[in-house]
């Protein structure tokens, strides 16, 4: 069964997430990526594609390949598909083209509507100024519900044209609410976007029932997204104000969103440098299966620091994380993953923490290349930043030796 995933703005993060996630089995791990489209073969049909997509922060649209089609036969293929659905009420129809060739889509739509109308079908075409419909248009016009509408996608791979239908689109309203609508927010201290939190959880290869620790929980975003993915969570932070926000946000999440009722969430104030001692006092050390955390990115920056200031920040963070990783090593079983962000500075020439410092403070763990073992990039990390940010996030994946 072949599906195509429309990747998000941070394409490398999106690809790495697909490789590491445990929501479905990929049978072609060396899958082809063309432009922003990833072509995946999966072991079995995705019976609830929206539920799958809701757990992938880096994918915008999920499409199912229906058939190969010759360019001259596109209209007939669309007509046959709609007749197969046999809609009994007015039916919404959208067409998105990801082809490099110019097709007379408007002519195809007009002829298709005319021919199907003559056979008693009522169609409403969703128009767009762009070659592709947006996820908002697809969602608002119910184009993933085959009783009410469909979006056809025209795709190309290896010189062949394929027809795909849209199974699911990213729930933009839910992400926005979880990002901007939660009660406990702190723009001054920075906030991890829910999509990135999901990606990081998937990079840890977590699955339902696992127990994830976030010892730098901030406002609780990773714990919140973990609960929505069916994962148990431990959230701690040394900042009492942040812990209060975490409690507010988790209570808000429980009242606002559906989640499994038997999941466990543990919240307490603690310094990450003493996290093992804190967990031992609660008798939950042996249960932790992964650590996922934004970590401390250093002091907030209103401007780009000088090179000397950057070196000082990197040095102080390396000292902090040396102690933190000693705790991690005493906590996690062999093979368990740590997914964590480190800061980088978005100066004219980007500045990163020296790799030798990272390798030194994370002894007992091996750095994993999140894009695949065969990808020998110099820094095995993935970058995430918004346009106006001075400090970006560099995402690393470690595995316990």
- The tokens describing 87, both together, are 């809609």
2-170 and 184-400: identical CATH topology: no
pLDDT band at residue 179 using 50, 70 and 90 as cut-offs: very high
pLDDT surpassing 80 at residue 259: no
SS3 110: helix
pLDDT surpassing 60 at residue 253: yes
The architecture that CATH gives domain 2-170 is 2-Layer Sandwich (3.30)
Pick the CATH number of 184-400 from 3.40.50.150, 2.10.10.90, 3.40.50.720, 3.30.1490.390: 3.40.50.150
pLDDT surpassing 80 at residue 101: no
Domain assignments of the chain as residue spans, ordered by start = 2-170, 184-400
Report the relative pairing of strands 32-34 and 59-68 from DSSP bridges. Answer: unpaired
Out of 97-106, 110-119, 180-189, 270-279, give the one with best mean pLDDT.
270-279
Residue 364, pLDDT score:
95
How large is the average pLDDT for residues 169-173? 95
Show the 3-state SS of 297-365: CCCCCCCCCCHHHHHHHHHHHHHHHHHHHHHHHHHCCCCCEEEEEEEEECCCCCEECCHHHHHHHCCCE
Residue 189, pLDDT score:
62
Residue 377, pLDDT score:
62
Query: Which of 33-47, 65-79, 258-272, 348-362 is predicted least confidently?
Result: 258-272
The 10s digit of each residue's pLDDT in 370-390 is 997 555 567 899 999 988 889
Cα–Cα nearest to 198, from 350, 79, 22, 362 = 22
Per the CB < 8 A criterion, the answer to whether 224 and 249 are in contact is yes
The 10s digit of each residue's pLDDT in 6-30 is 999 999 999 999 999 999 999 999 9
SS3 382: strand
Q: Where are the alpha helices (DSSP H) in 149-218?
A: 172-176, 194-203
SS3 264: coil
Residue 376, pLDDT score:
58
Q: Phi then psi for 117, rounded to 5 degrees? A: -65, -40
Q: What is d(CA 189, CA 229) in angstroms, rounded to the nearest whole number?
A: 26
pLDDT > 90 fraction of the chain, expressed in percent and rounded = 79
Q: What is d(CA 391, CA 190) in angstroms, rounded to the nearest whole number?
A: 10
């Amino acid at each position: 069964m072949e599906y195509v995933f429309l990747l998000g703005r941070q394409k490398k993060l999106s690809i790495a997430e697909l490789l590491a996630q445990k929501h479905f089995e990929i049978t072609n791990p060396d899958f082809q990526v063309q432009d922003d489209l990833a072509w995946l073969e999966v072991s079995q049909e995705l019976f609830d594609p929206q539920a799958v997509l809701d757990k992938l922060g880096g994918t915008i649209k999920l499409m199912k390949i229906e058939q190969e089609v010759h360019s001259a036969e596109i209209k007939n293929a669309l007509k046959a598909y709609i007749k197969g659905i046999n809609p009994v009420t007015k039916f919404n129809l959208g067409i998105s083209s990801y082809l490099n060739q110019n097709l007379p889509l408007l002519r195809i739509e007009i002829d298709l509507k005319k021919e199907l109308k003559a056979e008693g079908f009522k169609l409403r075409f969703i128009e767009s100024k762009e070659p592709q419909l947006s996820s908002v248009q697809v969602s608002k016009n119910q184009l993933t519900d085959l009783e009410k509408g469909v979006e056809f996608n025209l795709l190309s791979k290896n010189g062949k044209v394929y027809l795909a239908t849209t199974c699911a689109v990213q729930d933009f309203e839910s992400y926005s609410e979880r990002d901007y609508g939660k009660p406990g927010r702190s723009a001054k201290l920075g906030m991890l976007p829910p999509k990135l939190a999901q990606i990081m959880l998937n990079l840890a290869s977590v699955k339902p029932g696992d127990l994830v620790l976030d010892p730098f929980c901030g406002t609780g975003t990773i714990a919140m997204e973990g609960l929505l993915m069916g994962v148990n969570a431990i959230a701690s932070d040394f900042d009492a104000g942040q812990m209060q926000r975490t409690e507010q946000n988790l209570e808000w999440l429980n009242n606002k969103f559906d989640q499994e009722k038997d999941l466990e969430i543990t919240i307490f104030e603690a310094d990450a440098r003493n996290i093992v001692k804190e967990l031992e006092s609660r008798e939950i050390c042996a249960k932790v299966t992964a650590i996922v955390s934004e970590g401390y990115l250093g002091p907030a920056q209103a401007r780009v620091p000088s090179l000397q200031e950057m070196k000082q920040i990197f040095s102080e963070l390396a000292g902090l994380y040396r102690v933190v990783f000693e705790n991690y090593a005493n906590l996690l079983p062999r093979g368990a993953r740590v997914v964590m962000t480190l800061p980088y500075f978005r100066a004219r020439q980007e500045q990163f923490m020296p790799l030798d410092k990272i390798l030194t403070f994370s002894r007992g763990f091996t750095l994993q290349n999140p894009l695949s073992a065969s990808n020998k990039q110099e820094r095995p990390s993935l970058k995430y930043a918004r346009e106006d940010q001075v400090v970006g996030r560099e995402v690393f994946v470690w595995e316990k030796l």
